[in-house]
Amino acid sequence: MFYSVPNPKVGILIAFYTNTPNAIATGNGVDLVRYPPLALCHWSDVAFLQWASLSVEGVIPDLKFVARVSISNEHTIAVLQTVLSKLRKEQRAPENRLPTWPGINFPMETEEAKALLGTPNGAGIAWLLAQHKKELGHKTVETVRLWYSKYVGTPNLLFHLKNVEAPGLTDGPTKAASPFALTS
């Protein structure tokens, strides 16, 4: 269902496979009325628990990046193709090849970044940040980087996160934030 690899030293969570149980069940003809979906069924929830499990002395590592790699979601791919088509018309992307690493970086203020964050692969990151603000700190997406794998040609997105100063909120996680913190 979900396969993500965390690297707390760098502050990155790399999500490889993120099909929800409901999508898999529906795709395989499972009757969701007869077999109701699981309560823990969204990538954002599982990703948070995986990241939080890396806490040291109750402090969750600072999440700085989320990468969505080898994207296969057809809705996300359609948006990626639209973004690339627009960039090619504006001569900001190569005409006859896909951008490989380091790809194209979009500041969050751009239409392209907003469109990419609004895809199924981007929305999970928005949910992760919104639902776990207390534990992860008040964060927002600063930039979105798009690139294609050099040899297999699959699209990838890297979301660069930043802490946001907000009245009444800490700008980072607190010691009591981890659901895995030991209490005495």
Report the predicted TM-score, pTM, of the whole model to 2 decimal places: 0.82
The total number of structural domains in the chain stands at 1
Gyration radius of the chain over CA positions: 18
∠ CA 66-69-72, rounded to 5°: 130
Give domain status of residue 182, yes or no: no
Determine, yes or no, domain membership for 168.
no
Q: Are 104 and 23 in contact (CB under 8 A)?
A: no
Q: Are 142 and 105 in contact (CB under 8 A)?
A: no
Residue 7 belongs to a domain? yes
The answer to whether position 74 is within a domain reads yes
Residue 184 lies in a domain: no
Does the residue 158 lie in any domain? yes
**Tens of pLDDT, residues 139-159:** 999 999 999 998 888 999 999
Average pLDDT over residues 42-46: 82
**Domain of 89?**
3-163
Q: Tens digits of per-residue pLDDT, 82-125?
A: 999 999 888 878 777 889 999 999 999 999 999 999 999 999 99
Residue 171: inside a domain: no
